[in-house]
Amino acid sequence: MKPASINFRLAALTGFLSLAALVGCSSAPTGTEMATQEAIVSAPADSAAAGESAGDRSSSIPTPNLQHSPQLIKNASLRIELANVEEAVQAISSILAENQGDLLSLSDQENQATQPRQVSLQIRVPQGNLDNTLEALRNLGDVAEQSISAEDVAAQLVDLQARVRNLRKSEEALLEIMERSGSIPDVLEVSRELSTIREAIERQDAQLKALQSRVAYSTISLSLVSTQPLAPTTSPVGETLGQTWQTATSSAKTVGVSLLQLTLWLLVFSPYVGIFVLGGWLGQRYRRRHQAVAEQTDVA
């Protein structure tokens, strides 16, 4: 192939990639815009050299379909009060098995003297089985709180699908140019562009699959609260006396250890203490002698 033809194809590819990048960064396209982009992408580069008119291109655009079925992400939250939490957890396992659900997490808080036992679960079920699962969970006890939320992500799904479709068309165009190109610099440049396009496809495809999974499965946050009476906060007399005895003996041990430590400190520093005591005694004796001499002088 001639270098001029290769340069022309690279220029056409650069313009096409710029158009695809603008489409990918914009919001969800309408039906007419999507159809126009597909028509421009599908037109080969040779048709531009042959002078294809804009009227002929617009005649091949299919009729746009602006209606999109809602794609809802549903989440629910339940707080149920019941007597036996252990039996409820076992019943939830059976409910999940019947409705093809999964247990995502379970947290069993330690029962304190002033708070009832509470078990928190997060489960996931197919969206079609959400209502049946919620009804079965409500039958476990008394519903204290409940909420259901839904979010329509149809526009986001259409946007991601359009981005992936345009990126795949760009990948096909790059592969075709790589097959026809014979120059090593041109092949390396196209290879770099192809690597960038494939990375973008992987990212957009991962986001698309994650969003589709959230639509297909609904999440339920469930809290099970025990209604059993709390243990009495006051202790029996015997237990109280026993705790008092333990506290007293522990305090006596602490005081005894402290006295022993003080004795050891005094023993270690006893030479220094003796020096200070002897110095004080000598000073006091000298003062008394000086006073006695002064009194005798005054008498004389």
Residue 24, number of CB atoms within 10 A of its CB: 17
Inside any domain, residue 147: no
Inside any domain, residue 269: yes
Inside any domain, residue 173: no
| Signed CA dihedral, 93, 94, 96, 100: sign only | positive
Where in the sequence is the domain holding 286, given as residue range(s)?
A: 256-300
* Residue 74, pLDDT score: 93
For residue 153, give the nearest of 53, 33, 34, 72 by alpha carbon: 72
The b/e string for 108-133 (b: 16+ C-beta within 10 A; e otherwise) is: eeeeeeeeebbbebebbbeeebbeeb
Rg (CA), the chain: 43
Per-residue pLDDT of the chain (300 residues; tens, 9 = 90+): 444 444 445 555 555 555 444 444 443 443 333 333 333 333 333 333 333 333 333 333 333 344 568 899 999 999 999 988 889 999 999 999 999 999 999 988 765 556 788 899 999 999 999 999 999 999 999 999 999 999 999 999 999 999 999 999 999 988 888 887 667 887 888 889 889 999 999 999 999 999 999 999 999 999 999 887 665 555 566 777 778 888 888 888 888 888 888 888 888 888 888 888 888 888 888 888 888 777 777 766
Inside any domain, residue 270: yes
CB 221 within 8 A of CB 42: no
For residue 92, give the nearest of 224, 288, 252, 206 by alpha carbon: 224
Domain count, the chain: 1
Question: Look-up: residue for tokens 């001639």?
Answer: 2
The C-alpha atoms of residue 124 and residue 217 are separated, in whole angstroms, by 6
Inside any domain, residue 241: no
Inside any domain, residue 278: yes
Query: Quick one: tokens of 196?
Result: 């960038």
The C-alpha atoms of residue 200 and residue 190 are separated, in whole angstroms, by 15
Contacts of 61 (CB under 8 A, 6+ apart): 32, 35, 36, 39
Inside any domain, residue 286: yes
Inside any domain, residue 272: yes
Phi, psi of 119 (to 5 degrees): -120, 125
CB 14 within 8 A of CB 190: no
* Strand-strand pairing, 72-82 and 217-226: parallel
